[in-house]
Amino acid sequence: MQEELFLLLRLGLGTSSPKQENLSLLESLKEEQWVELESISQKHGVAAIVFDGISSVVNYKGPQFLNHFKNRSFWSCLIAGWGIGIVEQQYVFGNKQQYEVIKDVQHRWSEHGIRMLLMKGMAMGTYYPIPYHRCPGDIDCYLFKDYQKGNLIARSFDATVDERWYKHSQIHYLGQLIENHQYFVHTRGGKKSKHLNALLSSLLENTNYEHLAGTDVLLPPPMFNAVFLSYHAQAHFLAEGLRLKQLLDWAMFLQKKQDQVDWKLFYEICDKYHFKRFVDVATDVAAHYLNINIDSVITSKSPYTQKVLNSCLYDDDYIFSKQGGIWRNRVHLISNLYKNRWKHHEIYQHSIIRQLWHYIVGFIFKTEE
């Protein structure tokens, strides 16, 4: 299933064309395998991209592509449900709703002199061929030195603001969840985490910002994005598992912005903060699974790629994928830490005992500063 999945992802991203691919792989899939493919693509937040890949095959092959389906009604129901129920209603409509909320809240904050930087989510969608086909998530933003002011103003326009978590507040507004970041990383994780947060802040200084289309919302500069995306994806990988959408984000970032990154400095940062092996895996996936052209100064091979991909596709470690309270999540986090020791030893190259110690100290003493 992995081979067929990446084939459709390449087609959906436009990094390959049907005539370049072995389409017989798709023609040999059974009905239950198509259902499994839909399920996997939904779980990993890439359902719209995979659907775009399928559409490109149907447009290329014509009606004869459907000849191998004995049950034509199955194919019709699958495509209708996938295209309308998932792509249009969840992805496109979800992104359009977020866009309107982002414009609204940014306008309200700007009236009080607050700048809004958009991170992840729709900011990453700007790199995709069809921006609204990037899976919508929460709205992550950074208000520079106006974190508390932003929370206060949000309450004034009837948003519900939860400030219990130190890293970011949660603002519920017009049916959307906005995460207003005070910190970019888990700064309770020790001195290096605090240094990394300071580094990311410095990468936002003295830069010319691009804007989200039709708004004054700021988009992250390339060097900041290179470091932040690496940290964020690896943090998910270590703690609760990786989703393919995070690997696609890195691939689309490389396709659009690799020539605007200081790679010598970037790799120095990777070595210092233990990102290097994970970044090499993500770049290997971009180059050799998603057909992204990579500059020779960028490392694009890793011996750990297939092991990381297997974990990504087949592990079931996501902390927030099941119902439960905060203590269940904490227990799950510690359980994942021990169960996936190889991730820390082989990829992060960091002691899990030290990591556990930072969790405990940070939780007890609230050492975010």
Q: What is the reported pTM?
A: 0.93
pLDDT higher than 90, residue 322: no
Q: How far apart are CA 244 and CA 312, in angstroms?
A: 7
Whole-number Å distance between alpha carbons of 31 and 69: 8
Residue 361 has pLDDT above 90, yes or no: no
Instruction: Tell me the per-residue pLDDT of 50-76, one tens digit each, with 9 for 90 and over.
Output: 999 999 999 998 877 777 677 778 888
**Percent of the chain predicted with pLDDT > 90:** 76
Identity of the amino acid at 102: I
Which residues 6+ apart lie within 8 Å of 239 measured at CB? 319, 333, 336, 337
**Model pLDDT for residues 169-215, shown as the tens digit of each residue:** 999 999 999 999 999 999 988 889 999 999 999 999 999 999 999 99
pLDDT at 325: 56
Q: Is the pLDDT of residue 268 over 50?
A: yes
Percent of the chain with pLDDT over 70: 89
**In this predicted model, what pLDDT tens digit does every residue of 108-162 receive, in sequence order?**
999 999 999 999 999 999 999 999 999 999 999 999 999 999 999 999 998 999 9
pLDDT > 90? residue 324: no
| pLDDT tens-digit readout, 232-264 | 999 999 988 899 999 999 999 999 999 999 999
